[in-house]
Amino acid sequence: MLLATIVLVAPGRLRPVPELPEVESARQVLMGALDRVIRGVDDNDEWVCRPHPPGEIARALVGGRLVAAHRRGKTMWCETAARDGTPGPHLGVHLGMGGRLVVSDGDGERGGGEPERPDRTPRKPEWDRFTIVFADGGTLRLFDKRRLGRVRLEPDLSVLGPDAETIGRDEFRTRVARSGAPVKARLLDQGVLAGVGNLLADEILWQAAVRPAAPADELDGPTLDRLHAAMGRAIASAIANGGVHTGEVIPFRHADASCPRCGARMTHGKVGGRTTWWCGREQG
């Protein structure tokens, strides 16, 4: 366990945790599971499917279909329809710290969520924590080695702020600046806005040249607007390029690295309880 912990935090070897862009790629994969008749559901993992006992999600879905796939922040949910077309319960899916959705059909399979790496241990069937089998023989699987993902009916979205990809400039200003907490902590707070994790937050703050520990309520309007714009660009770029690990400053989040923009030394510390890297000159 100790060894695993060391590997997780070793510089440059940080496992990417699904943030908004990874979850959006999983949602797009989920679109391939829509409008297919559900023949069976394996919901036997009582931890991943809590609070549902085994069989409860299956009873709600078998015979019906998933009809729409939505996302807010890092939470996805599907609208469902029963056999006769009447609306069924929402099916919530959260990728946790390393989950991946895999959808298969006659043409093969597509995955989305945590980026796959060529050196990864081969997939073990027991790491499929939740599976839907369609009448056409294809499947939807939540592959999650770490078992921190979650599947549940009627997920509670009321605890989430607006989605980081779509929040407007004025609402961003108001929500982020409502407290004197470090601005990075405000960006990470899923109740303020939903979808930004640790890497994306560092990328946004670096792009906007804002000090991560600056009290949010002391930032002026133009600075907040710059952050909002940087967030929009960072999210769009990460979605287009395959994940938050493709951010411009992400490869420079380690000791002895220099800022890729100005050449000053990169600095690090804990902000909002998370390991944070920033440019010692532009964000000092």
What pairs with residue 69 in β-bridges? 78
Does 250 bind Zn ion (CB under 5 A)? Our answer is no
Using rule CB under 5 A, residue 265 touches Zn ion: no
Instruction: Quote the distance between the C-alpha of residue 97 and its chain's center.
Output: 8
Query: Which one of 168, 262, 269, 284 is in contact with Zn ion (CB under 5 A)?
Result: 262
The only residue of 259, 266, 271, 272 in contact with Zn ion, by rule CB under 5 A: 259
Cβ proximity to Zn ion: between 60 and 279 the closer is: 279
Decide: 134 and 39 in contact? Cβ < 8 Å. yes
Stretch of residues binding Zn ion (CB under 5 A), selected from 69-77, 181-189, 212-220, 252-260: 252-260
> Per the structure block, which two tokens stand in for 91?
């099916």
- What's the closest the beta carbon of residue 236 comes to Zn ion, in angstroms? 22
Is residue 248 a contact point for Zn ion (CB under 5 A)?
A: no
| Cα separation, 245 vs 237, whole angstroms | 11
Q: Residues 15, 261, 268, 274: which binds Zn ion (CB under 5 A)?
A: 261
**Shortest distance, CB of residue 206 to Zn ion, whole angstroms?**
8
How many amino acids of this chain bind Zn ion (CB under 5 A)? 6
Q: What torsion do the CA atoms of 265, 12, 194, 157 make, to the nearest 10 degrees?
A: -160
- In contact, 25 and 239? CB cutoff 8 Å: yes
Q: CB count, 10 Å around CB of 107?
A: 8
Q: Which residues bind Zn ion (CB under 5 A)?
A: 259, 261-262, 264, 279, 282
